[in-house]
Chains A and B, each alone.
Chain A
Amino acid sequence: MIPAQLPAIAARCLDRGDYTGFLALCTADFEYQVRVYSPDIQQDMIWFDHGHDSLQALFESLPEHLLRPDKMMRHLGQSIIEEDSNTLVLLDTSLAVFLTNIQGQSRLWVTGRYEDKIVRDAGIWKLARRVTRLETRDLGIGTLVPI
């Protein structure tokens, strides 16, 4: 796998609800934040902040929670390579997430960008850090599932 494919592969795992597959793409010290700038309080906010283990705990807890019935589809733009070496790649990828409800109607839900740090871990490229910067600030009824 080439590192520039990782965001799309990770998105496909999340779209399918394959959380084991998603975590397999991440290093053991993976960190995932969702950040949103608020013009109301003029601050960069953290809306989601998990490490590998707490993400795993979250994924395991999902069946116990009320979840929105919509399916998510993460549509990614061409990744911009910010840094590229034999051991580290930094990618910036535009993101749009569409929701499809149980009647089959689809709508745009959020837009933003993935800022991914990808490292070579025992010879395999893995996600070491993801910061999702959302432009959309109204998530409707929200989500427990990572964007």
Chain B
Amino acid sequence: MAARNASAWEQPPQIAAEGFVAGAVYNDPAIFAAEMPAIFGSSWRLVCHESELPEAYDYRSFDHAGQPLFCIRGGDGQIRSFINACSHRGARLLSEPSGNARRITCFYHLWSYDAGGSCIGVSRAEGYEKSGLDKGQLGLRAVRTEVKLGLVFINMDDAAPGLEPFLADALDHFEGIMSAAPLETFHYSRSVLNCNWKAWQETNLDLYHEYMHVVLRKTQMNAMPMADRRINIFGQGHAGSGKMLASYEGYQGFTGRGTDVPPLPNTDASDFRFSVLFPGSAILSRGTVMRIDTVIPLSESQTILEMRGLGLKGESEADRRVRYRHFNQYWGPMGRNVPEDMFAAEACEASFRNNAARYQIIARDEGLTGQDDAPLRNFYAEWSQRMGRSASAPSV
């Protein structure tokens, strides 16, 4: 059969339902609204690397599931997180993206809190004596916070399982790299993309799209036989690969990459590995540098993408400059890889937005090698389970 008529076009692909995703998953505002509590309200989200909070009382503020939050390192070294709103009138407490605040004082009426979230100051408190208001009941809303391999995760749901069962071995690939020597964040950027948050995450889960990137065609697809690749599927919707090879000699300007700066611990220049965490984070390493990205959904068609670069802490300025170069070659805002992924995510969004595209196909099965779509199917199986509806027919 050649081109399809309108009726045929609207029919789902004639394959098993797990092999395709309906467009409503990307373009339906009601589905987006349902995702916030069902997925983001109860999943662990990666919010930063602990190097971004090196000293006591350092904080990072951020948004999650439509709410302003911040995490802060206490005087005891522990990182805790809170909703970034004063208990008095709800004003945002910390407006800078980062800083240091031993005492967190609201600009509005000067109520103040310590790094443990306790309310420690109420201006002219005697005015509340008749009301019986108890300062001990005015602490900030604490948000569960756990740290794994230096990565700081939060969860809004006090009843959700802990971080370890959530991660389900998905970070084992990075144990040797991230625990052997201190790392630090040296790159941070964020971009508002005109796409659904899942469209970005698909670029992390979809190995088949290596074809789109000339830099991957020349440095990755030919570096090892497809059949020798091993794709790992984890519980909770996570996926990754422990080691794939890259060879940089085939791309002009990349020759010698990895010989000019020490690689990350327990790895080498040719090593490429990744873990994609449900729902919205990905961790990648490419011999000498790491990338961590996280999505912050804004609407069904807009997403903030946070991108971090990590390298060895305390290295020389010369080494850091090389590491920047390695990061930027692929992953920086002016790199050869990530901008193309962004282009692709927005291009798909443009079609799904008005139902020009009805379904996308995720049916490649290469036995967990090569460019298998199993990571995508695993992601959408988790999405379907949490949403209580199938990604292939979400409106039924």
Chain A residues proximal to chain B, CB less than 8 Å: 34, 36, 38-43, 45-49, 54, 57-58, 60-61, 64-66, 68, 137-144, 146-147
Give which listed residue, A47, A49, A57, A137, contacts B321 with CB less than 8 A.
A49
Contacts of B190 in A (CB 8 A): 40, 137-138
Contacts of A146 in B (CB 8 A): 334
Contacts of A60 in B (CB 8 A): 252
Give which listed residue, B98, B192, B252, B332, contacts A138 with CB less than 8 A.
B192
Whether B332 contacts A57 by the Cβ 8 Å rule is no
Give which listed residue, A46, A140, A141, A142, contacts B324 with CB less than 8 A.
A46
Residue on B nearest A68 in the bound complex, by CB: B343
Whether A64 contacts B252 by the Cβ 8 Å rule is no
Considering the chains assembled together, what is the distance between the CA atoms of A41 and B192 in angstroms? Answer: 19
Chain B residues proximal to chain A, CB less than 8 Å: 52, 60, 96-98, 185-193, 212, 214-215, 252-253, 321, 324-325, 328, 332-336, 338-340, 342-344, 346
Whether B342 contacts A65 by the Cβ 8 Å rule is no
Once A and B bind, how many residue pairs between them come within 8 Å at the CB atom? Answer: 100
The secondary-structure label for the interface of chain B is mixed
Contacts of B188 in A (CB 8 A): 38, 40-41, 45
Whether B328 contacts A46 by the Cβ 8 Å rule is yes
Q: Assuming the A-B contacts A39-B96, A41-B185, A138-B191, are A66 and B253 also in contact, with contact meaning beta carbons closer than 8 angstroms in the complex? A: no
Give which listed residue, A45, A49, A61, A141, contacts B343 with CB less than 8 A.
A141
Besides A41-B188, A139-B191, 15 more A-B contacts (Cβ < 8 Å) are: A34-B334, A40-B188, A41-B98, A41-B186, A45-B188, A45-B324, A46-B321, A49-B325, A64-B214, A65-B214, A65-B215, A65-B336, A66-B340, A142-B191, A146-B334
Considering the chains assembled together, what is the distance between the CA atoms of A48 and B193 in angstroms? Answer: 21
Considering the chains assembled together, what is the distance between the CA atoms of A76 and B324 in angstroms? Answer: 28
Residue on B nearest A38 in the bound complex, by CB: B188
Contacts of B96 in A (CB 8 A): 39
Considering the chains assembled together, what is the distance between the CA atoms of A39 and B188 in angstroms? Answer: 9
Whether A42 contacts B325 by the Cβ 8 Å rule is no
Contacts of B334 in A (CB 8 A): 34, 47-48, 139, 142-144, 146-147
Residue on B nearest A49 in the bound complex, by CB: B325
**Distance (Å) between the CB of B104 and the closest chain A CB?**
18
Whether B192 contacts A48 by the Cβ 8 Å rule is no
**Distance (Å) between the CB of B206 and the closest chain A CB?**
15
Contacts of A46 in B (CB 8 A): 321, 324-325, 328
Contacts of A45 in B (CB 8 A): 186-189, 324
Whether A48 contacts B328 by the Cβ 8 Å rule is yes
Whether A57 contacts B252 by the Cβ 8 Å rule is yes
Contacts of A65 in B (CB 8 A): 214-215, 336, 340
Q: Assuming the A-B contacts A49-B321, A65-B336, A142-B339, are A40 and B346 also in contact, with contact meaning beta carbons closer than 8 angstroms in the complex? A: no
